Amino acid sequence: MLVFTDGYIATQSGPTPSAKVGDTLQAVGLAGKYSDGTRIRVRDTKELIVTEKGDSLGTALKGTNNVITGGSFDLTFGLTNVTSSLYAQDITFTYDPDLVEFVSADSVRNGFQLVDKKEKEGEIRFIGASFGDTNAVNSSGDLLVLHWKAKNKAAQTTSITISNMKVSNGEVGTQVKGTSFNLQILMAADKSALNALMTSTQNLYNTAVEGTKIGQYPVGTKAVLLTAINNAKTVSDNQNATQQQVDDATVALNAAKQTFTDSVIKPVDSDKSALNALMTSTQNLYNTAVEGTKIDQYPVGTKAALLAAINNAKIVSDNEMATQQQVDQAVVVLNAAKQTFTDSVIKPALGDVNRDGEIDIADLGIVAKYYGKTSADPNWNTYKIADVNNDGKVDIQDLAIVARKILESK
């Protein structure tokens, strides 16, 4: 199309001429007068900056919206709606120097390089370029990551703004609308409680022993506790952690510590008094018993069997993890062993009341002496030797048994 240097486009037949980004318009002279038509202003054959219809090229800033006073943070800069190849960029960021400090910037797109930068208070300007067709920025995406630091000021909100942005497609320059990123600067969180809890929990972890004994911890529980400690450390080491995050980490670590503490292997609360009393009486029986072949002695080998039963009961008694059922069963077993041992004692012949190995008039005399005594008598333990038939009383039947045995022995 023809563009006259007085700033008008001549009306032509057919569709109205259109211009797109990158078109160079040629000025052919003064028109003197112009026909009705669309007017644009140009500078002779200088570049023309035109905005495309539809979604236009735009800028984007993204990053964390919160930062702690004195903490570091990053912002990522990129372009949106890229529809052509871009080779050069001129970007200016403005910010409040009382609240944030620019640290550095790095390219995050292959082929795009920062050529130079210029800083002044509250402003940083970058010149970037992509060298060669293969490195041109021809699609939307991230270009730079900017590193910042919040100053130690009171908590407040601030913004970082792309105040000026131009790009070039290798022929013309295009002005691009900037954008702002709002940042909430928060007061640093109080981590003293979390750090103290981490220390005590780490000490617990260091001294704890996994195993199956009393005072030890089930296998695998230390690994779970260590994970909780490491999670808390991640929050503690995060200079941008909010107070809520710190408080939540404290609660989580406290819960993990309590769970670990509760998992310690404890003694079972079982009543062993009956077992221990039985063990004592059985041990006394064992200690006083004599093996042999005489009356009131025990067959050879029976004491060893009784001792084995005592030792088995002691294993249960000493086991702090023994359940009440195991304790009760040990009582039953030891009682049976004790009764078996007691029943194995070598007894005198029927009618040998004085246990001298003979049945004679002396035995009959003892029965006659205690005649009429019964098990209801408080001194029955003394009299019961005369109860030959073990029916709980000394009577005519006992006398008859002894008398018969005397006659049979002669």
34-55 tens-digit pLDDT: 434 444 444 444 333 333 344 7
Residue 33 pLDDT class (50, 70, 90 cuts): very low
Map residue 158 onto helix, strand or coil.
strand
Contact (Cβ atoms closer than 8 angstroms) between residue 50 and residue 23: yes
Residue 374 pLDDT class (50, 70, 90 cuts): very high
Per-residue burial over 106-135, b if 16 or more Cβ lie within 10 Å, else e, is ebebeebebeeeeeeeebbbbebbbeeeeb
Q: Are strands 180-186 and 66-68 parallel, antiparallel or unpaired?
A: parallel
**What percent of the chain shows pLDDT beyond 90?**
72
- Helices 324-343 & 302-318 angle (0-180, nearest 10): 170
Neighbours of 75 (CB within 10 A): 20
| Segment 202-222, tens digit of pLDDT | 999 999 999 998 899 999 999
Structure tokens at 34: 């112009």
Mean pLDDT of the chain: 87
The pLDDT of residue 18: 52
Q: How far apart are CA 150 and CA 68, in angstroms?
A: 7
Map residue 271 onto helix, strand or coil.
coil
Nearest to 86 by CA among 165, 168, 176: 168
Q: Which helix (H) or strand (E) holds 199?
A: helix 192-207
Instruction: Catalogue all structural domains in the chain, each as residue range(s) with its CATH number.
Output: 1-53 (no CATH), 58-186 (2.60.40.680), 191-263 (1.20.1270.90), 272-344 (1.20.1270.90), 361-408 (no CATH)
Which amino acid type is present at position 281?
A: S
Instruction: Output the CA torsion 131→132→133→139 (10° steps).
Output: -10
Contact (Cβ atoms closer than 8 angstroms) between residue 168 and residue 85: no
Q: Count the alpha carbons within 13 Å of 126 in the hemisphere toward its beta carbon.
A: 23
Point out the least confidently predicted range of 11-25, 175-189, 279-293, 299-313: 11-25
Map residue 190 onto helix, strand or coil.
coil
